[in-house]
Amino acid sequence: MSTTPAESTPVPGQAHIPPPRRQLSPFRHWLLKGIVDERGQHQGPHGQAPERTHPWWQVMCLTGVDYFSTLGYQPAIAALAAGLVSPFATLVLVALTLLGALPVYRRVARESFKGSGSIAMLERLLPWWAGKLFVLVLLGFAATDFMITITLSAADATAHAIENPFAPAWFQGNQVGITLFLLALLGAVFLKGFREAIGIAVILVAVYLALNVVVIAVSLGEVFTHASTITDWWAALTTAHGDPLIIVGIALLVFPRLALGLSGFETGVAVMPQIKGDPDDDPNYPKGRIRGAGRLLSTAAIIMSVFLITSSLVTTLLIPQKDFQPGGPANGRALAYLAHEYLGNGFGTVYDISTILILWFAGASAMAGLLNLVPRYLPRYGMAPQWSRAVRPLVLVFTAIAFIITLVFRANVDAQGGAYATGVLVLITSASVAVTLSARRKRQRNRTIAFSVISLVFIYTTIDNMIERPDGLRIASLFILGILVISLISRVGRSFQLRATSVTLDISALDFVLEDAEEGEIRIISHEPDVDTDKEYAQKNKDERRFSHIPQRSRTIFLEVYPSDSSDFEEDLVVEGVVKHGYRVLKVSSGNVPNTIAAVLLEIRDVTGVVPTIYFEWTEGNPISNMFRFLITGVGEVAPVTREVLREAEKDVKRRPAVHVS
C-alpha cells in the first residue's frame, strides 16, 4: 500500500474542512468570488458576514427602498382596484398590517434572527423530504415576489420618467427598452459590489419620504380648501353603492388586490444580520438585535400605514377616476400626478427623479433578498450547482430572468400586480402558519388562537387573490416548476460528490487509525449497524477475512454509518471511536452512506498519510432499484457508489482509497 506524508499534525476532535482541489482561471475566480463558507452560514451579497452592523433605523431604510417605494404605484393600483371605495379598502389593509402582519413578523424576528425568515421556521417544523419540498415551493413564491418587485419597480420607474413633461420625446413608446436598461444597470451594480447599500438607502428614503410629506400635505390643504371635493366624492360613492354596509363589504372584498402594501415584512427579517445589537448579545439569542428588528418592523409599519391612508384619500378625492385607467396620466403614478398638478413641473420633476431612484433601488433590495435566499437553501440541499453560492453568477441569472419577464409583460405595471400580490401574500401566509405552529408547540393557548385567526384571514386573502388574478399563480407555478426541475437535475448530477463540509475524528477514532498507520496498513470493514451482538461482529470479521483474503494477523476497524435525514445533502461529520464486543468501531451519523464512507476514508488518509482500504459485501437486489434507493434514502448500492465518489474526488489512483467487494 502506498503512503504519503500527512499534510499536517492531526488534532483530536478538530474539524477538517476539505481544501479546494483545483485552480480557477482569473475570470472564473472573479465570477465565483464570494464562496467563502462552504457550509453556507454566511449568505447574501458576496457571501460575506457583515463587516460592521448598523443602527436599526438605517437598516430600516434598506428595507424601506422596497417597502416605501410602493407609494410610487400603490395609490394608483388601489384606485384602479377599488375605485371610490379605495380609502376604506386601504383602512382594511392598514388594520391587517398593524394587527396581523406586524405581530406575526415580530415573532418571526425573535425565532429566526439569523435572517432566514419564516421559511427557516417551517423547515425546522417539517423535516425530511416533506420539509425540503415545502421549502422549494415557498422559494418559488419568494422568487415570484422578489423578481416581480425588480421588474415592476423598474417598469414603474420608467413610467415616471416617460410621463415627466421634460422627458425627451424618444422616451415615448420605449418603455420596454428603458426598463431593460434600468435592469441591466441594476445587474451591473451587483456585479461590481453592494457595500454602500445602506448609506445610499438612507439618503433615498429620507428624501423620498420628505417629498411625499410635502405632496400629501399640499394635497390635503387643497382638499380642505375646496371642501366640495369631499361632498362630491361621498355623493358619488353613496349613489354608486348605496348602503354603507355595502361599502364596507366591497372594501373587504377588494382588499386582496391592495396586498402590495404588505411587501416589506419578509425583507425586514431577511436583513436582520445587518442590525447592530448590544455589546453583550448572546450569539444564540441576540436580544439587542431582536429588539432592533422589532423597532424596525413597527416603525416601518406605522410610517407606511400613515402614508397609505393619506395618499389613498388625497388621490381618490383629487384625481378623476378615468385618469387612473391604463394609459391615463395617473396610472401607476398617482402621487407624481398630484406633485405636478399642485406644485408645478419643477417640483414634480424633482419628485419624479426621487421616485425613479427609489423604485430602481427597490429592485436592489429585492435582488439582495434573492441572493440571501437561494444560497442559503438550494446548494445545501444539493439542489443547485456549487457556483450558486457565489453572487455574480446568480446576478447574471436573475438579470436574465428579469429581462424575460419584462419582455413578456411589455414593462406594464398593472399586468404584473397580480403576480406580485400572490408572492407577497403566500410568504405572509406561510409566516402566519409558522408562528401559529410555534405558539401551539410552546403551549401558548391565547397566542395560538390569535395567530390562527390571522392565518385564516391571510389564507382567505391569498385564495381570493389567486381566484381573482390567476395570472399570479400561473407565474408562481412557473417559478416553482423551474426550481423543482433544476433541483432534481442538480441533485442527481451531484449524487457522486463528496457531501461532507467537514470531518471530525474524536480522540478514540484518531487513536485507532494512527495505531494501524504505524503498521503501514489501514483496513476498514464496512458494517451495517443493524444487529449489535458479539456473534454478528465475529461472523462479519470472519467472512471478510475469508472472502477478501485479509491476513489473519492484520488489524481491522469496522466502519458503521447510522442513517439520519437522507434529504440533507451537506453535513458536518463527527466520527466516534468505540469498542464493541472487543472490536474497534468507527461510528458516524449521516443521511448518505456511500458519500460519507468516501469522506471518512479520505480524512483518514489525510491525517495519517496512509491510503486506507475498505472491504464491502455485495448488496442484494436489483442494481437499478438500489440506485433509486440511494437517490432517495441515501443507501442502496453502497460499494460501487463509494468507489465512484472516490474516483470523482481523487484523480490520483495512488492516493485513492482502495475498494474491495466480495
Do 389 and 266 sit in the same domain of this protein? yes
Is 33 within a domain? no
Q: What integer pLDDT is reported at residue 395 of this predicted model?
A: 84
Q: What integer pLDDT is reported at residue 2 of this predicted model?
A: 42
Q: What integer pLDDT is reported at residue 104 of this predicted model?
A: 93
**Burial call 483-515: b when 16+ CB within 10 Å, e when fewer:** bbebbeebbeebbbbbbbbbbbbbebbbebbbe
Is 298 within a domain? yes
Domain boundary among 445, 466, 494: 494
Q: What integer pLDDT is reported at residue 41 of this predicted model?
A: 38
Do 629 and 547 sit in the same domain of this protein? yes
What's the Cα-to-Cα distance from 557 to each of 132, 206, 584, 602, rounded to whole Å?
A: 35, 67, 5, 15
Given a contact cutoff of 8 angstroms between Cβ atoms, the answer to whether 63 and 268 are in contact is yes
| CATH number of domain containing 646 | 3.40.50
Is 453 within a domain? yes
Do 372 and 263 sit in the same domain of this protein? yes
| Burial class, 533, CB count within 10 angstroms (exposed 0-12 / middle 13-18 / buried 19+) | exposed
Amino acid at 449: I
Do 456 and 534 sit in the same domain of this protein? no
Q: What integer pLDDT is reported at residue 471 of this predicted model?
A: 77
How far is 595 from 495, CA to CA, in rounded Å?
8
| CATH number of domain containing 450 | 1.20.1740.10
Rg, the chain, Cα only:
30
Span 13-50, pLDDT tens digits: 455 555 555 555 666 666 666 543 333 333 443 344 44
Mean pLDDT, 10 residues at a time, over the chain (662 residues)? 46 52 60 46 42 82 84 81 83 89 91 77 70 77 84 87 85 88 87 73 92 94 87 82 74 72 76 84 86 92 92 90 84 88 92 90 80 71 64 84 89 78 85 90 91 91 82 81 77 72 86 87 84 82 82 85 73 86 87 83 88 80 55 62 82 86 78
Is 465 within a domain? yes
Q: What integer pLDDT is reported at residue 643 of this predicted model?
A: 84
How far is 116 from 266, CA to CA, in rounded Å?
10
Amino acid at 112: S
How far is 237 from 260, CA to CA, in rounded Å?
24
Is 489 within a domain? yes
Q: What integer pLDDT is reported at residue 367 of this predicted model?
A: 82
Is 23 within a domain? no
Compute CA 9 distance to the chain's CA centroid, rounded to the nearest angstrom. 39
Type and span of the H or E element at 254 = helix 244-254
Number of structural domains in the chain? 2
Do 486 and 525 sit in the same domain of this protein? no
Do 469 and 562 sit in the same domain of this protein? no
The DSSP secondary structure of 470-527, one letter per residue, reads HHHHHHHHHHHHHHHHHHHHHHHHTTTS--EEEEEE-HHHHHHHHHHHTTT--EEEE-
Do 366 and 259 sit in the same domain of this protein? yes
Q: What integer pLDDT is reported at residue 626 of this predicted model?
A: 52
Q: What integer pLDDT is reported at residue 269 of this predicted model?
A: 82
Do 241 and 277 sit in the same domain of this protein? yes
Is 415 within a domain? yes
Domain boundary among 464, 494, 524: 494
Do 552 and 621 sit in the same domain of this protein? yes
Domain region containing 340: 56-494
Domain boundary among 494, 518, 540: 494
Is 187 within a domain? yes
Do 113 and 261 sit in the same domain of this protein? yes
Do 333 and 449 sit in the same domain of this protein? yes
How far is 398 from 373, CA to CA, in rounded Å?
13
How many residues are there in the chain?
A: 662
Given a contact cutoff of 8 angstroms between Cβ atoms, the answer to whether 121 and 108 are in contact is yes
How far is 631 from 643, CA to CA, in rounded Å?
16
Do 173 and 113 sit in the same domain of this protein? yes
